[in-house]
A and B are shown apart, each in its own frame.
Chain A
Amino acid sequence: MAASLQEIQHRIDSTKSTRQITSAMQMVSTAKLSKIQRSGTGYRLYAQHLQDVVSHLAQAHLSNVKGTLLESREVKKVGFLIITSDRGLVGGYNSMLIKRVMSAFEERHLTKDDVVILAIGGNGADFFKKRGFNVAYEYRGVSDVPDFMEVRDIVKTVTAMYDNEVYDELELAYQHFASRISNEVQLEQILPIDTTNLETESGSLSAEYDMNPSADKVLETVLPQYAQSLVFGAILDAKTAEHSASVNAMSSASDNAKEVIDDLELHYNRARQAAITTEITEITGGMAALE
């Protein structure tokens, strides 16, 4: 009986230390989440400006899109830029996303030969490599609060590959941070740039602009910048979602640990009582034998 008591005590201790770790990780992720949310506001201002100008330019110059990122060409290969996490411990964050991407392949009847995978984050890269997909680009180790300088090379490579016709359409797949308790898988086309669904609510750009040096030249500068900002925005969003997924996974892990501990403590007390009862029976039995 004593051995079993010790065993239970041992399990309680180890579960307790696990809970300590998971709740510490939860706190770390919460801190990262609020940090990245703060930096996200700065980015949104930038993105809004870009979007305003792009939608304005697009409305005025839709006729002349040849050779720009607006021009759609015959789609031979579809690029999928998939943003996953490097680490685990984020619940269903990666698996949900990958599942959604796989079903998108099916819906569009894309085979392995039709798609080019660009993976940001180790989880997605490993998954698609293992299944024999063409992983043309892979990046690991995006920092917890990415800044634009860090991801600029990723973004430039991705747009350069489009220019070199490695793929003719680029889809972006990532977990969008919807709220602190839920994420949504997003799949959106970023290249060629689709201006039809640009929000034109901002009435700030109604004026007739002088274009310098020329409208085409401006378009040539602004469009790549816009595409880059979209990719950066997605990375930022995905990271936010990752931190929030991590918070949730860790908080439910801590809750589960608490349940396990409560359960074990009940067992421990029962075993202890049983041990005491046995001891008393033995003592009284011994006394009875003496009398």
Chain B
Amino acid sequence: MEETHNFEVAVVTPNGEVFNYPNATLTVIHTTDGELGIMANHNPLISALATSEMRIQDKANDYEERLAVNGGFAEFSSNKLTVVADAAEKAGEIDVNRAERARDRAERRLREAHNQREQQLAQAALVRAVTRIHAATGE
């Protein structure tokens, strides 16, 4: 039997499926533990994700897509990778100006935070904003 070299990738958020690509050859996700590359026929896996960027590649068709993913988790089984997060955006759809404003706002809030909870919230917002800027601009 010929082994398949591609697999399906889907990203699901509360607003529905925001991304689907049937022929990925490599997907790189950032787990809470570090970077993880997934290729076809990977062992079944459930992994917690960091607020980070994920990269989907299809070498055969010279395709690459980046998404900013807001936490959540990834599940891989029967050659399908499903990322379930409360928010995800394709790099091309990210409004960089808005993300930069969000980053500046988060930085200000972080400086002015009065307690630990405020600090944590600001920190999380900052990570989200930076991730989105990074995914959108590749910097």
Contact = CB atoms under 8 A, between A and B. Distances in A.
Interface of A: 39, 41-43, 45-46, 49-50, 53, 57, 147-149, 152, 204-205, 207-213, 217-218, 220-222, 225, 228-229, 232
Contacts of B16: 39, 41-43, 45-46
Contacts of A209: 44-46, 75, 77
Contacts of A208: 44
A205 to B, nearest CB: 7
B32 A46 contact: no
Interface stretch (B52-60, B80-88, B103-111): B80-88
Interface stretch (B7-15, B90-98, B131-139): B7-15
Interface in B1-54: 12-17, 31-33, 36, 43-49
B47 A225 contact: no
Given A221-B48, A225-B86, A212 B33 contact: yes
Contacts, number: 94
The B contact surface, by secondary structure, is strand
Given A148-B86, A221-B73, A42 B14 contact: yes
Given A152-B86, A221-B73, A43 B32 contact: no
A218 B82 contact: no
Given A43-B15, A148-B15, A204-B77, A49 B33 contact: no
A168 B71 CA distance: 26
Contacts of B72: 221, 225
Given A49-B82, A212-B36, A225 B73 contact: yes
Nearest to A213: B33
A53 B46 contact: yes
Size class of B's contact patch? 20 to 34
Contact of B43 (A43, A149, A210): A210
Contact of A207 (B13, B44, B84): B44
Given A42-B15, A218-B48, A221-B72, 4 more contacts: A43-B14, A46-B15, A211-B45, A212-B33
Interface of B: 12-17, 31-33, 36, 43-49, 71-73, 75, 77-78, 82, 84, 86-87
B48 A232 contact: no
Contact of B45 (A149, A210, A232): A210
Contacts of A213: 31-33, 47-48
Contacts of A204: 77-78
The A contact surface, by secondary structure, is helix
Most buried by B among A220, A225, A229: A225
Contact of B77 (A205, A217, A221, A232): A205
Contacts of B46: 53, 57, 209-212, 218
B117 to A, nearest CB: 8
Given A53-B73, A205-B77, A209-B77, A220 B48 contact: yes
Nearest to B17: A45
20 contacts: A41-B16, A42-B15, A46-B15, A49-B82, A147-B15, A148-B13, A149-B87, A204-B77, A208-B44, A209-B46, A210-B45, A211-B45, A211-B46, A212-B45, A213-B32, A217-B32, A218-B73, A221-B49, A225-B86, A229-B14
Nearest to A222: B73
**8 closest A-B pairs by CB:** A42-B16, A148-B14, A212-B47, A207-B44, A221-B48, A213-B33, A210-B45, A209-B44
